[in-house]
Structure 1
């Protein structure tokens, strides 16, 4: 079993990258951290179009991993005690000891080990692509599978902030009209800095770490997730995962014209050191295109 874990901030193109990798073989499971809450408790749609509890793939995985039954609410409560940014800061970065945390972490790791083993067995694929992104989740995967590949996906902070401000319907919520959360430019900038710094601090010097930029993903190509070797049963992620039509892989650069004024200046100022560190220009429009 090989796990490819996509790390980085939200709205950085992880669904595109996940499906690109899945097209080469393997199984895309989406944001696995939400399997318990969004998938099994709320019954949101799997990428195959069925509610996750009714998806034949996930039904077989759950029975295989937990033949004696599973209480998703209990697992989700356990996950929240282990897999949160505040906990990550206290227990892993600052290394503040806690016997309760160590016990909960070991128990949740045992659950993850069973679920990933079942995914491999049921899918018949040796490669699992997990696009959960959050450092706290990636940290667990690194402990679970020390040889995991960590793809740190970077995207220009201004593009990320612009994306967080756009309304985007969640088609996986099939019983109501619900939209993905929208956050302001200030919070988007601070989250971008924290997540990317934490990701670098925790994983940049470990085997299997690779830094990728969204803007550098191949342009002018096309992929069809439903064809070839792709197997996609993602439980959460960008609505793009439901679109099986052929599409061009061209970076979304709408932020260059739509994200301007005070918001853009604020995000640029707050994220400038990291932007420069990762090779971005502070005025990308000066040369006609973003980096």
Structure 2
């Protein structure tokens, strides 16, 4: 069974992941000590031309991985690793990897087969009508080990090249009941109260997480902004802050200009975000992902500029109270 050390991220946490294409998960990782980003970009070539911090992930062959390891003072020595069909991925350790347990994301297949994960839900926009690695999951469906269900939900109108969402569920045989149970939880969360930590705990139990793991996840999620969608933020001026306080923080104020600039919320960079954005305060709010798609299209990490007259429409989708994260002065 796969076991991976979980390391707290800092800017030295750049890793080469050895990815087993049969188990469809990482099976080994190598930390690149004090990486020289300029040198690594030169080895990656044109693929990294517009990525000065190497924030994107890069799939590599063995020769490329060996060259990058050597440039970072590390030897790619994997003679004892029993993975015939493998590739290499270069990326920073993700924030999800700071959990004190093995989070299922990225390890769904081996954990399903081992019985440690009871349900996997793979959601993606279509086309294409498949997700990466689907053939490896379906191999075990054909063997009678896993159960599979698929749901296709078209958008009301195309979102760029995408026509809708496709969801594929997998469970070990005998655990099929978890799929309708999860659907009921999602349906119940659509009521006015919206998704919250109680639904998050139920979902974690359905997936097969232990109580202490759910406790940690929920405590961390609340500190990061809550549950029920995408955590976003924006700055407001003094008048907007007073408007929100009078409204009981139930809505965003009218935009001060022709657009409201919205950013993904980063809890470790609040002060910098406020300094960059200006205004009297930085506030965060939670919006369901589908609402973001309908209002803006897919987010790519760049600022989202919402027309001022659409702020009331955005307010209809807020899942929780607006939270003041930082005030100037």
Name the one with the larger strand percent.
2
TM-score norm. by structure 1 comes to 0.29
Which structure would you say has the larger Rg? 2
Determine which structure has greater relative contact order: mean sequence separation of CA pairs < 8 Å that are 6+ residues apart, divided by chain length.
1
Name the one with the larger helix percent.
1
